Amino acid sequence: MANMQDVARLAQVSVSTVSYVLTGARPISAATREKVRAAMAELGYQPHAMARGLASRRSRILGLLLPIDERGLGATETAFVTGAATAASAAGYHLVLSPVDAGDLDGLRQLASQRMLDGVLLMEVQLDDPRVGVLRSAGVPVVLIGRTADTTGLSYVDIDFDRTVHDAVGYLADLGHRRIVYVNHSATAIAEGYGPALRSRDAFATATAGRRIEPVMIPAEDSPGGGRAALASAFDRAPDLTAVLAMNESAVFGILGGLAAHGRTVPDDVSVVSMVTSPQVAELATPALTTMTSPGTAVGRIAVEQLLRHLGAGSTDSAGSTGSTDSAEIHQQLLPCTLEVRGSTGPPPTLTPAPTGRRSAHP
Amino acid sequence: MANMQDVARLAQVSVSTVSYVLTGARPISAATREKVRAAMAELGYQPHAMARGLASRRSRILGLLLPIDERGLGATETAFVTGAATAASAAGYHLVLSPVDAGDLDGLRQLASQRMLDGVLLMEVQLDDPRVGVLRSAGVPVVLIGRTADTTGLSYVDIDFDRTVHDAVGYLADLGHRRIVYVNHSATAIAEGYGPALRSRDAFATATAGRRIEPVMIPAEDSPGGGRAALASAFDRAPDLTAVLAMNESAVFGILGGLAAHGRTVPDDVSVVSMVTSPQVAELATPALTTMTSPGTAVGRIAVEQLLRHLGAGSTDSAGSTGSTDSAEIHQQLLPCTLEVRGSTGPPPTLTPAPTGRRSAHP
DNA sequence: ATGAAAGCGCTAACAG
DNA sequence: CTGTTAGCGCTTTCAT
């Protein structure tokens, strides 16, 4: 396979010239540039990625770190991944998928010290995530997908849970619902500081308080079974519920099944909104689910773009300060989920049989 | 960051000794080995991946090539990916996710020529897939996830559609079903030579012929809507159908919805079996779907393991023969989906109201 | 605007 | 069993 020497020889220039036409790091006369281009084409030359990486100290490889549990990835997470992969590829970067157990800090440190990754995207971020510290002190630029509790000096792209929950509650309340049950992720996830669970919970408390609605919140395992169980206790605590707001894509199908088992029709008796959900999943249900549609691939794409911007500047700390990467370049962005009304929502039952004008029937 | 020189100096040995301790490519006395180990630990030494790769001509990076369409990955494909990532990681390899459009052969050639990938896994393989040739002539070891029509000299790991369909038809037939409708992928997918669609179709034809069942086959777009449409024509062509065999994970939910809309109960009126489906998806339906459960992560894992075995031997052709990689090492494996009976299947309605012993009630 | 040459950090002959 | 050394293919000063 042809290398740079071969190209230089054929084009009758020096290797450095070839290198410079490739990188564009310094002006080359149009004439020589063409000679070189021709030579490259004739030889089918492709720069050797590792050699280039070694010399330039830039691998052009990004890491996507995610703990891969047995349950595998959900549709939303998968969208993050494909979005990131596509964006990286479009920018001429490679994206390596690194399954690192959340607890395996040494493995992470090792990975970071191999100098194979120009930067990393961190998924499944916990509120207090030790991986962030490890990565920073290893001098690897990081962009979080999700975010920690303290985001000082950190770049992240995350879903705007506040606004998502707020909008969902607003939508339901405007429809006339007053008894809204919020089904969260599992108690374990909450205890472990899983950001989305905590943030959406608080947002629900706030949103309901603002509308003088009593907040009923129930945790659920991330599975249809968990959803059924959650629904059972929902009926215990709020027998008169008219709407369910699910923060749990996996549990929501169990909720639907449970509702049917309880003899409740969706949306006539009970409305259901599924948050942070992909259209593909929404369409699986009958009736199709009204959702707060997750930004999907945009999250991964933007995260990559931001990471790339960080790389554009300086990546390694000049003096090994275990502090910030480079405070100037920090980018923090929240993307909202957007309401998509499908078939699982409607006005609450008490209002349904009361058409306009009926209210003043008996003056 | 410490390099090999630093370690050598501290351990009072030569760099090559350090290198050999690391690679184990030649025997080192226990004493020196320990000295070196200690030095490495003290300095927190980590070998530089690119330098190692450049010198050894092995990147320890594997590529996972998959066309990422807008629809994103299904649960089954995602399982392949995570299985591959986990296996690669376990073997000390990195896995890069490369979204290469099926048609972009030049991009592929380029990717292959960068010498960044020691080998690749090819997903979404078409019956006649030009990418295979490109990869082979670039001298990159390949293992297919899926397979082409002609698999001579190729290693692959794929689902055993023949057996899967055979088992599913057998299960349904043993239950007493005679009117079984098979819902395939889209007509487009079939026309494009999408292997799973073609192979399962043929398998269905064979399996039904063996049991003297008339094969009713219907294509469906990969979406719930496609499933509903397919069901409508199913009722046209076989109004008396008692079972649906779905080869289309996305359409099956539409089928379920359509069945309900037609006033049919599952499984009392109609049984539904979803093929090549993950348990997570199966549980989303109510009742939970009886499935031929896809081997999931095992496919990705085995594919990586085989690719790694290929790398163990010789990877690059000694004389640029555009033929086989190394015929001795070829590995072709078919993994069956296993039947998991859940709530969507039962005997056909005509048999249901006839409990055991009723037959001889009036002798 | 171009060239020459010194590495990047490691592996793998080649010598002992 | 260990050391010396020549690259791997490219980038990037330093010269001109």
Q: What is the mean pLDDT of residues B159-177?
A: 97
Element (H, E) at A290: strand A290-293
Instruction: Give the closest residue to B291 by CA, choosing from B227, B325, B250, B246.
Output: B246
Residue range B138-151: average pLDDT? 95
Q: What is the pLDDT of residue A172?
A: 97
Tell if the CB–CB gap between B50 and A97 is shorter than 8 Å: no
Give the residue-averaged pLDDT of B85-93: 95
As a rounded value in angstroms, the CA-to-C1' distance for B6 and D3 is 16
Q: Does the pLDDT at position A102 exceed 90?
A: no
Residue A161: pLDDT band with limits 50, 70, 90 = very high
* Across B290-310, average pLDDT: 96
Footprint of strand C on the protein (CB under 7 A): A 12-17, 20, 26-29, 31-33, 54-55; B 1, 3-5, 15-16, 19-20, 22-23, 25, 45, 47-48, 51-52, 54-57
Q: Which residues of chain B lie closer than 8 angstroms to A86, CB-CB?
A: 68, 99
Residue B361, pLDDT score: 38
pLDDT digits (tens, 9 = 90+) for A258-303: 999 999 999 999 999 999 999 999 999 989 999 999 999 999 999 9
Q: Is residue A166 very low, low, confident or very high in pLDDT (cuts 50, 70, 90)?
A: very high
The C-alpha angle with vertex B192 and arms to B186 and B198, in degrees rounded to 5, equals 65
- The Cα of A54 is separated from the nearest Cα of chain B by a number of Å equal to 6
Read off the pTM.
0.91
Kindly give, in sequence order, each residue whose CB lies less than 8 Å from that of residue B340, ignoring residues fewer than 6 positions away. Answer: B279, B282, B290, B291, B292, B293
Residue-wise pLDDT tens digits, A238-249: 999 999 999 998
**Residue A350's pLDDT band (cuts 50, 70, 90):** confident
Q: What is the pLDDT of residue A91?
A: 95
Q: Do B82 and A68 touch (CB under 8 A)?
A: yes
pLDDT at B102: 83
Indicate the average pLDDT of chain A.
Answer: 90
How far: B26 CA to C13 C1' (Å)?
Answer: 13
In chain B, the domains with their CATH numbers are 4-56 (1.10.260.40), 61-159+296-336 (3.40.50.2300), 161-293+340-349 (3.40.50.2300)
pLDDT in tens, A193-211: 889 999 999 999 999 999 9
A215-224, B327-336, B337-346: range with lowest mean pLDDT: B327-336
The per-residue pLDDT for A314 is: 37
Mean pLDDT across chain B: 90
Chain centroid to CA B136: how far? 21
Q: Which two tokens stand for residue B241?
A: 């159908």
Is 90 exceeded by the pLDDT of residue B352? no
How close, in Å, is residue B219 to chain A by CA atoms? 18
| Residues on chain A touching B95 (C-beta within 8 angstroms) | 96-97
| Predicted local distance difference test score (pLDDT) of residue B351 | 52
CA A323 to centroid of chain Cα atoms: 25
- Across the range B272-297, mean pLDDT stands at 94
Cβ distance of A54 and B59 shorter than 8 Å: no
State the pLDDT confidence band at B360, using cuts at 50, 70 and 90.
very low
pLDDT value of position A351: 52
What's the per-residue H, E or C state across chain B?
CCCHHHHHHHHCCCHHHHHHHHHCCCCCCHHHHHHHHHHHHHHCCCCCHHHHHHHHCCCCEEEEECCCCCCCCCHHHHHHHHHHHHHHHHCCCEEEEECCCCCCHHHHHHHHHCCCCCEEEECCCECCCHHHHHHHHCCCCEEEECCCCCCCCCEEEEECHHHHHHHHHHHHHHHCCCCEEEECCCHHHHHCCEHHHHHHHHHHHHHHHHCCCCCEEECCCCCHHHHHHHHHHHHHHCCCCCEEEECCCCCHHHHHHHHHHCCCCCCCCCEEEEEEECHHHHCCCCCCCEEEECCCHHHHHHHHHHHHHHHHCCCCCCCCCCCCCCHHHCCEEEECCEEECCCCCCCCCCCCCCCCCCCCCCC
Please report the pLDDT score of residue B322 as a whole number: 37
Q: What percent of chain B has pLDDT over 90?
A: 84
Q: What ranges in A102-146 are assigned the alpha helix state H? A: 105-113, 130-137
pLDDT band at A328 (very low <50, low <70, confident <90, very high): low
Least confident among B67-81, B157-171, B188-202:
B67-81
